């Protein structure tokens, strides 16, 4: 379920368009093929519909699910502001132009986040989501083959190559080598020690502004900074009043 953290508000806003099972929807875009956990959202929606039909949107359920995934893995909680409505459009072409890529420079990443009204501090704190979860080898093999990224420490390089033995490997690696199942600030400690997994994690140290945010998140302040950034992201292009709809099934428009 955790991958929802990354994309819940990325495209047209926090309006659950990523859940729609339409022809040519966002879900069908190549960059989204590894998204998973949709059945957990279906189960939550079914339970909420049973108790209180037609009131809680899929967009709000995604926000609660993201918060609860963080709390269940040891992260800090936050209040989710509800009242969003669901979008009815979903376009497969959008993810390619609006989602951040692991190959981007800091300035490219900042531009993508700025489109969602998120600044450098928000971007770095939100990247702390990579404190849990995994990446498929295809997102790191360009750091390994044919020539290894010389900034990767030798022992980490050996373990990355063991997990991804060839450039075509389809296996996965933990995003946080220290505490892969706990939502904590070790992700930032990894970066400070040149042990970030994705190029887009490690690149945060290249720019003085993002580097100082990496330092600021490495420790007890991470929980609060992440929670605050999630609240800001969750406000992006929210549908209210008569806009959109409250879906009965998160996969289909009414
Ligand atoms: C800074 C720009 C970002 C880039 C370039 C990026 C890229 C990636 C990539 C390539 C993966 C591996 C996907 C796969 O193997 O299928 C991943 C995983 C993940 N990302 Fe990001 N991400 C970014 C920001 C974020 C943000 C802002 C969040 C949440 C707020 C987030 C949450 C996650 C999570 C939870 C996973 C693990 C998924 C799993 O275990 O299934 N990422 N990200």
Residue nearest ligand 1's atom 7 by CA: 102
Give the structural domain span for 222. 128-228
Could you tell me the distance, in angstroms and rounded to a whole number, from the CA of residue 54 to the centre of ligand 1? 31
Handedness of CA 214, 220, 222, 225 (dihedral sign): negative
How many angstroms separate the Cα of 104 from the Cα of each of 108, 155, 210, 226, 238?
6, 25, 14, 22, 27
Atom of ligand 1 nearest to the CA of 229: 30
We report the CATH number of the domain holding residue 188 as 1.10.420.10
Cβ < 6 A, ligand 1 pocket:
2-3, 5-6, 34, 100-102, 109, 126-127, 129-130, 132-136, 139, 175, 198, 200
Four-point Cα dihedral 203, 204, 205, 207, nearest 10: 100
Atom of ligand 1 nearest to the CA of 138: 15
Q: How far is CA 172 from the centre of its chain?
A: 17
Q: Is residue 167 part of a domain?
A: yes
pLDDT band at 30; cut points 50, 70, 90: confident
Does residue 146 have a cis peptide bond before it, meaning omega lies within 30 degrees of 0?
yes
Handedness of CA 70, 74, 78, 83 (dihedral sign): positive
163, 171, 232, 173: which is closest to 201 by C-alpha? Answer: 173
Give pLDDT tens digits for 34-83. 888 899 999 999 999 999 999 999 999 999 999 999 999 999 999 999 99
pLDDT band at 24; cut points 50, 70, 90: confident
Please give the mean pLDDT across all residues of the chain: 92
Q: Averaged over 228-247, what is the pLDDT?
A: 94
- Give the CB-side neighbour count of residue 36, counting CA atoms within 13 A: 4
Q: Is residue 215 part of a domain?
A: yes
Could you tell me the distance, in angstroms and rounded to a whole number, from the CA of residue 7 to the centre of ligand 1? 9
Q: Is residue 149 part of a domain?
A: yes
The pick from 1, 3, 34, 233 for probing ligand 1's pocket by mutation, whose C-beta has the most ligand atoms within 8 angstroms, reads: 3
Here the tokens at position 80 are 């989710």
* Number of domains the chain contains: 1
55, 102, 109: which is closest to 83 by C-alpha? Answer: 55
Q: Is residue 233 part of a domain?
A: no
Q: Is residue 140 part of a domain?
A: yes
Q: Is residue 199 part of a domain?
A: yes
Q: Is residue 52 part of a domain?
A: no
Q: Is residue 243 part of a domain?
A: no
Give pLDDT tens digits for 155-191. 999 999 999 999 999 999 999 999 999 999 999 999 9
């Amino acid at each position: 379920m955790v991958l929802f953290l990354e994309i819940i508000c990325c495209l047209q806003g926090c309006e659950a368009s990523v859940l729609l099972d339409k022809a040519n929807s966002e879900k069908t875009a190549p960059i989204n093929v590894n998204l998973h956990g949709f059945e957990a959202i279906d189960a939550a929606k079914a339970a909420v519909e049973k108790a209180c039909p037609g009131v809680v949107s899929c967009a709000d359920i995604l926000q609660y699910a993201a918060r609860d995934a963080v709390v269940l893995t040891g992260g800090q909680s936050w209040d989710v502001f509800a009242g969003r409505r669901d979008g009815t459009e979903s376009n497969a072409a959008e993810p390619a132009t609006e989602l951040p890529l692991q190959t981007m420079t800091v300035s490219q990443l900042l531009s993508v986040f700025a489109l969602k009204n998120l600044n450098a501090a928000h971007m770095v704190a939100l990247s702390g989501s990579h404190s849990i979860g995994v990446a498929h080898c295809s997102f790191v093999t360009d750091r390994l083959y044919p020539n290894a990224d010389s900034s990767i420490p030798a022992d980490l390089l050996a373990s990355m190559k063991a997990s991804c033995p060839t450039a075509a490997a389809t296996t996965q690696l933990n995003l946080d080598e220290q505490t892969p199942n706990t939502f904590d600030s070790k992700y930032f400690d990894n970066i400070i020690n040149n042990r970030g997994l994705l190029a887009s994690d490690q690149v945060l140290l290249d720019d003085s502004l993002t580097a100082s945010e990496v330092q600021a998140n490495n420790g007890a302040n991470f929980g609060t900074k992440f929670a605050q950034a999630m609240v800001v992201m969750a406000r992006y292009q929210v549908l209210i009043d008569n806009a959109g709809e409250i879906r009965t099934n998160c996969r289909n428009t009414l």
